[in-house]
Structure 1
Amino acid sequence: MAEEKESFEGQWAPSNVTEENLKEMVAHGVLPAKEIIGWRPACGEAFPSPDTHEVVVFSHFFYGGFALPTSKFFRGILNFYGISLHHLNPNSIVHIANFIHVCEAFLGIKPHFALFRRIFFLKPQPNKSKPCVVGGAGFQLRGTLSQKYFSMPFKTSNKGWHANWFYIQNPEPALPEYSCLPPVYQDTWNSLPIGDEAAQALELMDRMLKLKEQGLQGEQITRHFIKCRLAPIKERSRTAFEFDGKHDPNREEPDSLDFKIMKERMYKIFSNAIVVSYSHQLPVVPYNAFNPPPQVCI
């Protein structure tokens, strides 16, 4: 067992995250100050050895809508698929954050798990018999939906993200304790909702398709939650369809985001082929406290 543990620990890239890197994340508004959440760098460490009440996180995740403590929906995803945070990759985090935000801000509902399962499956990396410890499980669009869901022009590579790990306090409601083990493939990774849940998911898919036909794109959804200074994956006191502007308690920072930092965040996630212009006119008016969604039973 000790040899197996050493083998799994050996799959980690040594951390290259310094105190200065984390301070820059604070300056960009994607990470709270150390006094608030208690992070610490792991630069030079070969593999994680978190203290009690700490969790291992990747800096890329915070740029894509991740923050702590995480929401019930996100924790439910980890529990349903039997995975830990470090089993995911940066694109999976953005997929989850975008899904939550499109449900709230553009469908006007809380995130719908059956719809999530209808759209995504969890793919083992590189294969189901021997998935990697770090990034060994990635959410991908089901093949039949690649043309129906919102375009997500990700960067072709997030090279180096495996080494961008550090420690942070694990506040309640907490994530599962760190384990050095890889994910274990199970049937739920590719299962579909059934019965009434499946019918609800199909109905919501039709509504999503209409949003896409109106011109809504994946990177616009991401930019909207970044501009609002929201972290969709975070446990929040209200949804995006209740967002009431600059003084909303769920904003990560009260001040408006500098456009230069906005561009940096977008190009950290998406291909340089996308255009991040200063003016940002959405083809669909998002729901919020001033434009509440109609009452629909889902």
Structure 2
Amino acid sequence: MAAADLGTAEWERSKITNQDLNLLKKLGITTKPKAVCFPSEESYPAPPMGYRVSFVDHLIRGLSTPIHPFLRGLLYVYGLQLHHLTPNSILHISIFITLCEAFLGVSPNWALWKRIFFCRRNGSPNVAYNIGGVVISIRSTADYFDVKLPDSVQGWRKRWLYIREENDGCLEDNIPPFDGAEKILRRRSWDAEATEEERTSTESLMARIHELQNTRGKELSGIQIIVYFLKSRVQPLQARKFPLWKYTGNEDVDRLSVDLEVKDLERLVRKITSLSKKDSIPSSCRVKPYSATHALPKNHPNLVSLPPLPEGGEVEERTVISNDNQEASSFVNEPADSRKSAGSAEKDAASEDTTSAQSPPPADSPKNKRKRGDVEDSGTSKPEEAAPLPQKAAYDPYLASIISSDDDEETPALDVAARTSMSHTLVISEPRVEGEESSPPQQNIGASTPPSSPRAPSPKRARTEIVSEPTLQLSSSSNLLMEDPVIKDLLRIGAQFVGYREYANKAEEKLAEANDRANTLAQQLEQSEKARKKAESMLLMHEQRLIKPRLTLLVSKTEKEASHR
């Protein structure tokens, strides 16, 4: 049975505590005006113009805007959005960038990254997550730091907010626009390994990593790297004016805040790692990092290798291998952020990766078509038995927003007909999903649900139609049309337009309210002006009444004095 993508069912109203707000303030993330915008009552993200969706647990692990070009490249090559990455995956990227800049003295290196990391879908054979749906893991063969990450980050999916997109007029620093309906598709780049040329060019970097790990008395650990970037108060995933090997200390222009107190630093390190109160937190690194006071050696090579960006056109590594909703073997649970789980997941998918890289996406043989509940295909079927997977119908956000609602207590079940321009219809039913604190529910869901529109209010009860299997039949010409990049962009822009239209409607309402207030103030000002003039006239009359008798008395007195003379 194919794994069902929870999609928009994972989103719910944001629940950010005062403790979260205090932590963001101490880290200097909310001190800049309008840097962060907090959701109100919406249960589905509708970021204001110029903002993107993020999470508290991403920000405290090194994320900030404008984003680092290396992170932007990863999102593009892997075909992901920020909300697709787990907090542990964000921390992996922060540690890697800090390692490269502060301890290797080079820019974040794409070839080195491919030697150490790979991607896997986060979920189970029955449920595929959208929020945190991709896990970045360490290869079992990589000689890398044993980063002590927690198996599960409690409730992080509920702590979402909006961060202001700051790009300083540079398109290269942009975060991809939020699209909660975008499906996670496994790409060739998820398993991309360094070429022989890249391995040769990065051998010196791998040797240096091995030296940092094993130099007696000067061993460097993953925890020390985390402590260093937290103490430096520089966000590794932010596009900065200077790399960390030029860090100038307390006066550095890229610092977000003053030094954290020791107790706050230790509490934060334990929060984002698996260390307990019994474990000691290193106060400094045993290896002196490169900085303005510890300059790079003369003739130190800076091996520049960034992930391929869209300016050069589509790259081969972005080729979609398959939709992971059809492959149980490609899923790992969230604890795969640990090194042990990453290695086992890599071994389990080795044969699948080899076949997928050389042949079309595996699919069910017509002779052995699976029914609901059958064992998942391992993805290692022979090329001659493979058949192309059916394409899903395009999502129509307008139709998805037409939901009837009349009850405040029930969880929605959607009955939506998603129509394409070719008038094909897909009838979907979604059972009730129960949320839990640590991660989205892992229910046995047999059908996928088209995502609801950002402009649609949270439905309470909807008309349902239970069907045995969702079916969709498209002609070959339809398949080609749906694969057209222009059509995909139009569908994505259309889905975003619905959210922007809601934003525009709200802006118009607020403008009308502002005009009403302005008219009221103008009337009050006019009334105040009339009252002022009336008060001035009355004061003048009162003064005349007081002054006239005095003048008469003074004149009479003067006349008497003159007569006596």
- TM-score strictly above 0.5: yes
| 2:283 counterpart of 1:288 | no
| 2:141 counterpart of 1:144 | yes
| 2:44 counterpart of 1:47 | yes
- The match for 2:193 is 192
1:201-224 CA distance string (max 9 Å, x none): 333112111101121100100100
TM-score, normalization by structure 2: 0.48
Q: Is the 8 A contact 2:227 2:284 kept in 1?
A: no
- The match for 2:244 is 240
Q: Decide which moves more: 193-202 or 99-108.
A: 193-202
Q: How many angstroms apart in 1 are the aligned matches of 2:300 and 2:119?
A: 30
Distance 1:263 1:182, change over 3 A: farther
Matches within 5 A, 1:176-187: 176-180=176-180, 181-187=182-188
Q: Is the 8 A contact 2:224 2:284 kept in 1?
A: no
Cα distance, 1:282 vs structure 2: 2.0
Q: Decide which moves more: 57-66 or 47-56.
A: 47-56
Q: How many angstroms apart in 1 are the aligned matches of 2:252 and 2:272?
A: 25
User: In the alignment, residue 30 of structure 2 is paired with which amino acid?
Assistant: P
- The match for 1:119 is 116
Matching residue within 21, 24, 30 for 2:22: 24
Q: How many angstroms apart in 2 are the aligned matches of 1:74 and 1:164?
A: 22
Distance 1:243 1:47, change over 3 A: same
SS in 1 for 2:135: strand
Q: Is the 8 A contact 1:16 1:42 kept in 2?
A: no
SS in 2 for 1:47: coil
| 2:169 counterpart of 1:165 | no
Cα distance, 1:53 vs structure 2: 1.6
Distance 1:157 1:43, change over 3 A: farther
Q: Which has the larger radius of gyration?
A: 2
- The match for 1:9 is 8
**Uncovered stretches (5+) of structure 1, i.e. residues with no partner:** none
User: In the alignment, residue 287 of structure 1 is paired with which amino acid?
Assistant: Y
1:81-105 CA distance string (max 9 Å, x none): 1111000010011100000001111
Cα distance, 1:21 vs structure 2: 5.1
**Uncovered stretches (5+) of structure 2, i.e. residues with no partner:** 168-172, 304-565
Cα distance, 1:239 vs structure 2: 0.8
Cα distance, 1:129 vs structure 2: 10
Q: How many angstroms apart in 1 are the aligned matches of 2:51 and 2:183?
A: 19
SS in 2 for 1:64: coil
Matching residue within 223, 226, 233 for 2:230: 226
User: In the alignment, residue 144 of structure 1 is paired with which amino acid?
Assistant: T
- The match for 2:260 is 257
Distance 1:54 1:22, change over 3 A: farther
- The match for 2:31 is 33
Distance 1:251 1:195, change over 3 A: same
SS in 2 for 1:198: helix
SS in 1 for 2:113: helix
- Of structures 1 and 2, the one scoring higher in RCO (CA 8 A, sep 6+) is 1
Aligned residues: 288
Q: How many angstroms apart in 1 are the aligned matches of 2:97 and 2:165?
A: 22
Q: Is the 8 A contact 1:78 1:85 kept in 2?
A: yes
SS in 2 for 1:143: coil
Matching residue within 106, 110, 120 for 1:109: 106
Q: How many angstroms apart in 2 are the aligned matches of 1:140 and 1:70?
A: 21
